[in-house]
Structure 1
Amino acid sequence: MSLLFSPLRLRSVTFPNRLWVSPMCMYSAVDGIVQDWHRTHLTQFASGGAGLIVAEATAVVAEGRISPRDAGIWTDEQRDAWAPIVAGIHARGALAGIQLAHAGRKASAWWPWAAQRGSVPAAEGGWVTSAPSAVAFHGFDVPRALDGADIDDLVDAFAAAALRALDAGFDVLELHAAHGYLIHQFLSPLSNRRADDYGGPLENRARLLLRILDAVRVVAGDDVPVFVRISATDHADGGFSPDEATIVGEWAREHGADLIDVSSGGLVAHQRIDIFPGYQVGLAGTVRRGGRIPTSAVGLITAAEQAERVLEDGEADAIFAGREWLRDPHFALRAAHELGVEIPWPSQYERARWR
């Protein structure tokens, strides 16, 4: 019996398998509105057997976008553009999630294939960014520090975005607290220099995340799973650590989170990461055991047996993959075959099933 292709139940949702698609930014939205590219991109993974597909980091306010080309869900028009994409994912047998995000000091950035790097100037569609403290990310403009009213508005924005996401039909909500974006900036002492209730000790640095989680949990009710993606280490001296990540994981569970999606890094340019296949898996195991909460593992997981072994070893409850799905949108169909598991194929593809 394969763990990778066994169901997982969280709240009222049963995931048909545990091989999921990570949120991956496409930098292809227009005024925050997703386009036909997103529909084709995301629904193909459902045809390929994914159990859950989490849509890319989706900004809860306009200034929370990573780039001017990022997706959003701060308007009803944006919500309505997501709805047919979610319906397409459902029609092909998968579940749909969305990652709710605010990029903080890393917002207003050029997209990866632009000729420029750093902050986009206002004359070319950029904006003034915000962060816990007026400390810039390397090569970016200095952000303004959020005040108490700004923080209250931000919590409300996440709750409103969650409601729109549910109205669009999404099955899972994920809060983006990783990769150096706003909530992660609050969690890490390397970017959070505040002296108020949101800075200093870990309980203060985690306050924003837990307030957002509380607000989103109210909107989600008792049935909808809520995930939190974290960077379990900054890979830099004095930064957010795996020990702190386990504590935050436990606090998140107490505030209604159902799974911690464990990644790492992204906060500072001077990070030092030793990258190898499965390099972040151990962090997922640490948070799973210490935080007493289900986790997902991510990070150069590219093969069926590798993913199965992560689950067998008790390091995680599910697998998120990204680049491997881009290389092979039918990753789950292939992985099931390699593990000797029969899973449903689209009728249109049955003639290609390995026999």
Structure 2
Amino acid sequence: MYDIPGMIGGYTDDIHALWKDVQDSHPDLFWTPRNGGHWVSTRHDDMVRLCTDTACFSNLEPFIPIGIVPHTGPSQMDAPDHAPFRKLVSMAFTPASLNKAGIRARAAAVEIIDRLRPQGRCDFMQDFAGVMPIITFLNLLGMSESEAPYLLDLAKRLVPGQPGMEAAQAETHDYIAALIHDRQVRPGDDFVSMLVRAQVMGRDLTATERHNVVQLVVTGGLDTVINTTSFAMAHFARHPALQRELRENPDLLEGATDEISRRFGTSNLARLTRVDTELAGVAIRAGDQVLGIFPLSGLDERVNPDPMRFDPRRSKRRHVNFGSGPHTCLGARLARREIRIFLEEWIGTMPDCHLAPGTSPRMSTGIINAMTGLHLEWQPG
């Protein structure tokens, strides 16, 4: 976990405000000796270059420090190997699959809200944000919804820097191995079964490639929407007028979906410098890691005026919270659908929600900006 001024006991109640303070008080690119030593990039245009200038920047080591996350196939590949594996994974995100998953996502959201509304309170991250996206993703992959509670618990324990993360990685490895074995013995028409039988570049996947691709697909989509919607809800709970504005003006929901994506990014990912080069006017050497604080791409006032203000009417939003270039997030379209469903069903139908008295959001940072607790209350009637 990165050492950020203002964090107490590893947590804060507004991680984006803390990162914005770093952006405003530090050079565009600066060096830190922590986590093995690496550069930190804080501005939009430089992060676009990190994503798109593949001649200078490699995706082989996107995590800080090197070795903290085992290699997981396409997310840690460069050309020419990357494209065939990315094409394989992209087969999960066809329009038909996305439509089917979106229908289930909405049904799950309605079911959860109907159950929670009479209670007048909830832990939003645990009870809604941590349930609907996982059910959606399991349906996308053709897996049983009964896996949802276990995968939510696993996603929370897999955050690098959290206690027990290494044990959770070993548990994940065993879970994926068992899943692959089950599909080999009892193949179905689900996406995981397809991956188990898949070929790439005219050959069968090796055992390691098969494991890595299945693990990437099953675990790679667990945390983004969970945390993005939780960050948004924490902001709305502090600004109830925003809840009413969106509820009364459904024509703003498209802009609000884009604004959530810009304002509440989650991933802090690195690139490995291939050759001696310059970034932000600073000389960096081949072999150096450069960490992009991707949520800051949308909070950069040079490209988004008044960036901390949530404005569903904002035009020409710019950010790279879903990446850019060859490693643009394959799940971005699904994430946007889920965010839109959150707005339509939770914000559109629930009473005004506020932070439960005596509580504040608990957020942490590292490879992922994460919400660990968000207690809400509302009038049940």
Band of TM-score, shorter chain: under 0.3
- Of Structure 1 and Structure 2, which has the larger fraction of its residues in helix? 2
Normalization by structure 1: what TM-score? 0.25
For the pair shown, the structure with the greater C-alpha radius of gyration is 2
